[in-house]
Homo-oligomer: A and B are copies of this chain.
Amino acid sequence: MRITIIGSGNVATHLAAAFKNAGHAIVQIYSRDLQNASLLAYHVRADAIDDLELINQHTDLFVIAVKDDAIETISAALAQYQKLIVHTSGATDLQTLLKYTQNAGVFYPLQTFSKTREVDFNSVPLCIEGADEHINAQLKELAYTITQNVYQINSAERKTLHLAAVFAANFPNYLYHISQQLLADQQLPFDLLRPLILETAKKVQEHLPASVQTGPAIRNDEKTMKSHLYQLHEKPELEALYKLLSQGIIKMNDAG
Interface residues of A (CB under 8 A from B): 68-69, 91, 110-112, 114, 117, 119, 123-125, 127, 149, 151, 153, 156-157, 159-180, 182-183, 185-186, 188, 190-206, 208-210, 212-218, 221, 223-224, 227-228, 231-232, 237, 240-242, 244-245, 247-249, 252
Q: Are B228 and A163 in contact (CB under 8 A)?
A: yes
- Identical copies in the complex: 2
A247 to B240, CA, bound (A): 12
Which of chain B's residues have a CB closer than 8 A to the CB of A214? 112, 169-170, 173
A244 to B161, CA, bound (A): 20
Q: Are A175 and B168 in contact (CB under 8 A)?
A: yes
Task: State the Cβ distance, A205 to closest chain B Cβ, in Å.
Answer: 5
Which of chain B's residues have a CB closer than 8 A to the CB of A178? 164, 167, 248
A112 to B203, CA, bound (A): 9
- Given A119-B199, A172-B175, A241-B244, A193-B164 contact (CB < 8 Å): yes
The 6 closest A-B pairs by CB, nearest first: A170-B215, A201-B201, A172-B172, A168-B179, A177-B209, A176-B209
- Given A192-B151, A241-B248, A224-B175 contact (CB < 8 Å): no
- Given A203-B112, A213-B177, A252-B174, A228-B197 contact (CB < 8 Å): no
Which of chain B's residues have a CB closer than 8 A to the CB of A110? 192-193, 195-196
